[in-house]
Structure 1
């Protein structure tokens, strides 16, 4: 399993290396030393990094702020929002809770498994897991910086619809005995009051927010580097041909999303490249959603937690067809 979540007490080499490489490339474009004339690829790479960073910096800053604010709310409070009743209401609440938790995709996976152990219904866990990977508040503002409000809102609404629909299908399968129900019992959490929230707002919150954001930012910087390398080595014509708004493009994007083991935060810059250079908004949506739905780490974690291969393979079985259909429609509409 890729270690996308920072381990406390250790130097985050991935963050510092990707951050350093990104800032170095940005500085090279600004300074434009003579060596750039002799290495065209380096010039194109630094220009791509410069362009991407200029588009996302304000979204990244707002993301850090959101991480800090969400971080002072106890996780159990958000988890308790799920409720315990059957039906679309509890599934929708699980979807919203998934959006509120600002964690990397594998961090979300760990929380999802904890939800199951605490007695959340399988339908709620599925909805929570499907809604969460890229839909955190911090990544949402970064996505707005890249593709604008309209497309971001469309992506959020559609991903929530997929999450709710997948949860309803899971609930139906459980009711018919086609999937095993959760044997664990629901556990209530302590009441959390607004006064406690105010007490958690301290001057050190900003520093804490930046430290907590390293987990997210390292994958964003890795995604920036990956997107810049794609621009250097894959000509626009080739990129448009193979990853454009066609059935072939959708198929290749799904394969790429399945194979490329990048944390959800790193997928945003690559999705932006699909959106802008390949002119394929559906492919961008597919890349964001498909990677999480077909990730082998999620499949294996579901199997280990639920002790059921049926549940493990239910996730891609129910989500991928929905994602493909919606992605195809997005490639053929104007927003």
Structure 2
């Protein structure tokens, strides 16, 4: 077991955390730029360069792999799979399928429209909509690289649970009449899904890498910049007073602050990493990340185009309440992750 632990630790440090890259960037900043990384300016530059390169390397590799897997589950095939299963099993499957689909809430909504127009149960489509931006295999690997295995797995598990519970509640409330009429009227063509060759899957995966990098690069840079500022310029005492353990409303504040932001999990990770380094509780960070990814303002505006205000308000209320509860539970049992 000790040998396995050592091997896993080495792989985690060198492949996911990329300690070698951190050391190379440190040499660049100190030897070439002449700025000690122990000081604010040098530390900020090191944080920005190291995190940016690390995220884009991991992001490119992981998106390629996930997209290759995703090529076996195009929307048409996913609709067929989900259409055969009802009830809680359907919600679970919808949440799980959300983990191998697009990486932001806005890009998930067109698929959500397709599922709804195909007549899939509303609860299943919402389970998919909640899990798709919040939980995916790429985010799991990146979370491991930033926070370790325990926190990463816990984040994914609670994200899936929230998606299943949220979709189940919406199904129980029978809110189908609050979907905009034109969505139901969209003609659903049940076309045969052509089988892709291996070369086509590779080409598709490369295209997905290019497309997603083009969509997220700015948010990643903004997130890394904010993370560098938090990590090196904002005093520890200020962070502790605002979102630290001394503030009983920290989880709710993190959730409220996260909702207006627009980014996917890749843009929020550098901010979360910096807050974690400042000693902010795990639950507060998790609530912030989930609010940004699942309830971003642009995605809510887009969703309003396909559902009526009552359904939208219920969706936001359920997900917000779930995120806040998850945050407080994480904080209460944070000793498990230390």
TM-score using structure 2 length: 0.77
Q: What displacement does 1:331 show? A: 0.8
Q: Output one character per residue of 1:160-212: Cα deviation in whole Å (capped at 9) or x when no partner.
A: 111110111101110xx69646862794744547x63535245x567435413
Does the C-alpha gap of structure 1 residues 200 and 223 become closer, same or farther in structure 2, counting only changes over 3 Å?
same
8 Å CA contact retained: 2:66, 2:100: no
Change (3 A) 1:97 1:207: closer
Structure 2 residue 254 is the aligned partner of structure 1 residue 243? no
1:258: which partner in 2? 259
1:126-145 superposed Cα distances (whole Å, 9 cap, x missing partner): 11111111312222211111
1:71 is displaced (CA, Å) by: 5.4
Q: Residues 275 and 80 of structure 1: is their aligned pair in 2 closer, same or farther, counting only changes over 3 Å?
A: farther
Mapping for residues 213-228 of structure 1, pairs under 5 Å: 213-214=212-213, 215-228=215-228
Consecutive unaligned residues of structure 1, counting only runs of 5 or more, are 1-24
Aligned residue runs from structure 1 range 1-335, under 5 A? 29=29, 31-34=31-34, 36=35, 41-53=40-52, 56=55, 59-70=58-69, 72-73=71-72, 74-83=74-83, 85-174=85-174, 180=178, 184=184, 187=188, 189-192=190-193, 196-202=196-202, 204=203, 207-214=206-213, 215-245=215-245, 246-306=247-307, 308-333=308-333, 334-335=336-337
- 1:323 deviates by 1.4
In 2, Cα distance between equivalents of 1:150 and 1:322? 20
Q: CA deviation at 1:318?
A: 0.9
Q: In 2, distance between residues paired with 1:284 and 1:52? A: 18
Encode CA deviations 1:136-158: one digit per residue, 9 max, x unaligned.
22222111111112111111110
What's the offset of the Cα at 1:234?
Answer: 1.2
1:261-294 superposed Cα distances (whole Å, 9 cap, x missing partner): 3344311221223333234110121012122444
Aligned length: 303
CA distance in 2, matches of 1:82, 1:51: 41
CA change 1:79–1:231 in 2 (3 A) is farther
Partner Cα separation in structure 1 for residue 121 and residue 290 of structure 2 = 22
How big is the alpha-carbon RMSD for the aligned residues of Structure 1 and Structure 2? 3.1
Structure 2 CA distance for partners of 1:197 and 1:288, relative to 1, 3 Å:
farther
Displacement of 1:51 after TM fit?
Answer: 4.9
CA–CA separation in structure 2 for the residues paired with 1:100 and 1:64:
10
Q: Structure 2: which 5+ runs fail to align?
A: 1-24
Q: Which residue of 1 aligns with 2:18?
A: none
Q: Find the residue that maps to 1:160 and give its secondary structure.
A: helix
